[in-house]
């Protein structure tokens, strides 16, 4: 295990911003992880666990503690029944590589989550979702190291306390745990999830009426590439804000003011409102720029950074939230996690 001092975190985040980490440790084994946690504990330093760096905004002031970069690898599978396989993946595995691995083996369940950047551990913690699917739909369990005791605990799906873009691991108690491995129950015969309109439209445009597993993955990848910036060229964390969940009565009032406002019934008298539509159609904020920071030309929910600082990104995000509040009365919440500062 190598410990580096004063490592620039801009090299490790997709936003391409961030100051120095006092200490930076890349761990490839569970023993490395335990050693890194002990190193931080002995120096009474805070710990931040970094995956692919795709859903964080690191302060220009950096992080005055120990950044643990999860680089553990490994994917394996066990047959649970004639139709179900258990796929286990280490937390440092690239998420989309795991999805590709399952699709190549004809295992259904993760394909709608194709091309989402980041690692398995971060995917579990954030309960990633897209195109009618969420990670919680297939998760069996997640193993995590308790930083306080050094013991590994297995959390069932219920114990993970999944919600919209959240889990137990995002809570103050849950942050004591570092996800090390996760398992998913995947079906060997389907069914395929093609209910999301964008997916249906993409397949229809290709005259595909009975799609294969690979074709659904390809459709999702094509949709994402059309809507989202290329991470190899532009700094971004993808969707910056969560889609707001509002009471049904509040949604009806907004829909009366803004005809065509989409909304998805989430139960419990709540409606999920697509914030990208609001930012674009209500606020006119798609494709705008404030210096070196702006919203993506194809998706207003995505903030892009072309050479700006973390402070510039945060100021721009604050402006977007203020405009949404003024126009709609909705308070919107970051999906991106702020680190340091």
| Cβ neighbours of 98 (radius 10 Å) | 22
213-227 and 95-104 are packed helices; what angle lies between their axes, rounded to 10 degrees? 150
Q: Has 239 been annotated as catalytic? A: yes
Q: Which of 165, 166, 202, 217 is catalytic?
A: 165
Q: Are strands 133-134 and 139-146 parallel, antiparallel or unpaired?
A: unpaired
Q: Give 154's DSSP letter.
A: E
Cβ–Cβ < 8 Å for 59, 81:
no
| H or E stretch covering 149 | none
- CB-count exposure of residue 327 (10 Å: 0-12, 13-18, 19+): middle
Whole-number Å distance between alpha carbons of 38 and 323: 45
Q: Quote the strand ranges of the chain, DSSP E.
A: 3-8, 20-27, 47-50, 56-58, 63-70, 75-79, 84-90, 129-130, 133-134, 139-146, 152-156, 177-187, 235-239, 245-247, 264-267, 270-272, 289-290, 293-295, 302-305, 337-339
Q: Give 191's DSSP letter.
A: -
CB crowding 153-171: b at 16 or more within 10 Å, else e: eebebeebbbebbbbbbee
Q: Which of 10, 144, 239, 314 is catalytic?
A: 239
Q: Are strands 84-90 and 75-79 parallel, antiparallel or unpaired?
A: antiparallel
| H or E stretch covering 40 | helix 30-42
Q: Which of 26, 111, 314, 335 is catalytic?
A: 335
213-227 and 197-205 are packed helices; what angle lies between their axes, rounded to 10 degrees? 110
Expressed in percent and rounded to 5, the helix, strand and coil fractions of the chain are 30, 30, 40
Nearest residue to 89 (alpha-carbon basis) of 160, 9, 180, 164:
180
Catalytic residues: 165, 239, 335
């Amino acid at each position: 295990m190598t410990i580096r001092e004063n490592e620039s975190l801009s090299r490790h985040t997709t936003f391409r911003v961030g100051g120095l980490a006092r200490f930076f440790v890349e761990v490839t084994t569970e023993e490395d992880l335990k050693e890194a946690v002990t190193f931080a504990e002995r120096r009474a330093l805070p710990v931040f666990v970094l995956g692919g760096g795709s859903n964080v905004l690191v302060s220009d002031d950096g992080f005055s503690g120990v950044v643990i970069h999860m680089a553990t690898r490994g994917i394996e599978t066990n047959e649970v029944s004639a139709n179900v396989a258990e796929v286990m993946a280490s937390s440092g595995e690239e998420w989309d590589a795991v999805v590709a691995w399952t699709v190549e083996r004809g295992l259904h369940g993760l394909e709608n989550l194709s091309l989402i950047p980041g690692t398995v551990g971060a995917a579990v913690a954030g309960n990633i979702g897209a195109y009618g699917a969420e990670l919680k739909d297939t998760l069996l369990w997640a193993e995590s190291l308790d930083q306080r005791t050094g013991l590994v605990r297995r959390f069932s799906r219920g114990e993970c306390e999944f919600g919209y873009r959240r889990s137990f691991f995002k809570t103050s108690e849950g942050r004591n745990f570092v996800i090390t491995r996760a398992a998913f129950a995947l079906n060997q015969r389907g069914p395929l999830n093609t209910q999301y309109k964008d997916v249906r439209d993409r397949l229809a445009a290709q005259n595909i009426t009975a799609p294969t597993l690979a074709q659904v993955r390809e459709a999702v990848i094509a949709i994402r590439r059309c809507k989202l910036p290329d991470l190899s060229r532009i700094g971004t964390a993808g969707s910056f804000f969560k889609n707001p969940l509002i009471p049904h009565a509040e949604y009806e009032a907004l829909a009366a003011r803004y005809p065509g406002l989409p909304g998805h019934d989430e139960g419990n008298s709540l409606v999920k409102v697509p914030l990208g539509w609001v930012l674009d159609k209500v606020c006119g904020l798609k494709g705008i720029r404030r210096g070196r920071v702006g919203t993506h030309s194809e998706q207003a929910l995505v903030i892009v950074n072309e050479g700006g600082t973390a402070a510039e990104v945060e100021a721009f995000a604050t402006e977007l939230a203020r405009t949404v509040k003024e126009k709609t009365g909705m308070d919107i919440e970051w999906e991106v996690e702020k680190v340091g500062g």
